[in-house]
Amino acid sequence: MAFSSPWALVLTGGGARGAYEAGALKAINQLDLDVKGVYGTSVGALNGAFYCQGETEKLYKMWQNLSYSDVMSINASSNTTNVYLNVIREMFSFHLINVEPLIEMVKENLDEQKIRDSGIDFGLVTYDLSKFSPVELYISQIPKGQLLDYVLASANYPIFQRQIINGQTYIDGGVYNNAPVNMALEKGFKNILLVNVSDIPFFLPPIPKDVDLKSISPSGTIGSALDFNPENERRLEKMGYLDTLKAFGKFVGRNYYIYPPKSPILIDALLSMDATELSKIADILDLNIAGYSHDLAVYGILIPEILQTVKATSFDSLNLDLFEITASVLDINRLAPYTQSELVKAIAESNQKLNTSFLFFQIKENSIVEVVREICKFIVSSGMKC
């Protein structure tokens, strides 16, 4: 899918949550968006600089293994609690955190000239402590040879040692504007994609009627801004990648990522079952369909009973809702793309035991899950094509 109109990307600050942005940028590359502007704050400025440089895949790989020692010089084990304790100790001793590892990583991997030659407008936000004044700069306003310094200034988290440029002291731009949508608007962009991993509130400017602002936010928990844990960062990258593709219609589903199906396989399978198979479904739902015709049993009894628990307006939406409920209850990995066939197989092969409960809604949900598991087993055993 190609998008002919130019896009601007706006990347918020969020510290370690920037891994989500790295996943989103990987997806944006695959979507073939015509990106002509990138505007970021803090880690958003860092990630945006890599994107402009054409190093999205390198950025993705870097985030997969990024640890505390790659960002800051602090005595701590890999245990997150120990890191926080050491950070607090430094703060109470009036010491700001040394981020020489981050500075070295940025200067080793970013190339100012490549960014300037990319043909993509770049902008960032920082805050001048010397003047108590916010600073929003486009790349054309940044003196040559100082671009990386300003990128680091934008990402100068308040507990980090201060970034000094030309005698002026700067801190993280998130204290003023963590989502510089205004910078994209000022450049006249009509299509703006905001990737939001902010852990602080921000306010958007008025959006003109002729501007399409699409916002992508994490669909699950993302941790704290200082949680530089490779395992969590890999999870965030997957989430950012999949959430972005879903936002552009590559997947359907509320919580899972399902390739758009050609037909509702769960409903099709139910309609294909013989009397014996339908009786199994009826028994799970505690229903009696003896003496009913096949169609009346399915359309008049079984599906209406299922719809008592799963509120859907069409067979397509019912099919997706049944997949989502069942996959969630069976604890099937959420952060992966699935075809209908792959999800059917995962459900059919699951041996996850259901939690017992005396609550009515839990009993009903468990029954639905067992029904879907039985249907999936039928699909697999009968060789139905999904």
Q: What percent of the chain has pLDDT above 90?
A: 79
Residue given tokens 């997806």 in the structure block? 27
Digit-coded pLDDT (tens) for 199-252: 888 999 999 999 999 999 999 999 988 888 999 999 999 999 999 999 999 999
Residue given tokens 């990737």 in the structure block? 195
Mean pLDDT of 359-381: 87
The whole-number pLDDT of residue 344 equals 97
Enter the tokens of residue 275: 């009397």
> Are 222 and 17 a contacting pair, CB within 8 Å?
yes
What is the DSSP-derived secondary structure letter of residue 130?
T
Sign for the pseudo-dihedral over CA of 150, 156, 158, 162: negative
- Where does the pLDDT of residue 161 fall: very low under 50, low under 70, confident under 90, or very high at 90 and above? confident
Mean pLDDT of 112-126: 97
The whole-number pLDDT of residue 94 equals 41
Digit-coded pLDDT (tens) for 287-310: 999 999 999 999 999 999 999 888
The whole-number pLDDT of residue 92 equals 40
Question: How many angstroms separate the Cα of 39 from the Cα of each of 135, 164, 170, 358?
Answer: 13, 22, 18, 53
Residue 192 exposure: Cα atoms within 13 Å on the Cβ side:
28
Sign for the pseudo-dihedral over CA of 241, 43, 54, 190: positive
Q: Long-range contact list for 304-307, CB < 8 A, 24+ apart?
A: 306/368, 306/371
Closest CA to 181 of 150, 212, 143, 154: 212
Mean pLDDT of 7-34: 97
Q: Which residues face 309 on adjacent strands? A: none
> Are 223 and 17 a contacting pair, CB within 8 Å?
yes
* Residue 121 reports pLDDT greater than 90: yes
Mean pLDDT of 176-189: 97
State the first-to-last Cα distance of the chain, in angstroms, to the nearest integer.
24
* Residue 128 reports pLDDT greater than 60: yes
Would you tell me the crossing angle of helices 265-272 and 315-329 to the nearest 10 degrees? Answer: 100
The whole-number pLDDT of residue 95 equals 53
**What's the whole-number average pLDDT of the chain?**
91
The whole-number pLDDT of residue 107 equals 94
The whole-number pLDDT of residue 78 equals 47
- Where does the pLDDT of residue 75 fall: very low under 50, low under 70, confident under 90, or very high at 90 and above? low
The whole-number pLDDT of residue 74 equals 67
Q: What percent of the chain has pLDDT above 70?
A: 91
* Range from 15-24, 84-93, 315-324 carrying the lowest mean pLDDT: 84-93
Q: Which residues face 136 on adjacent strands? A: 125
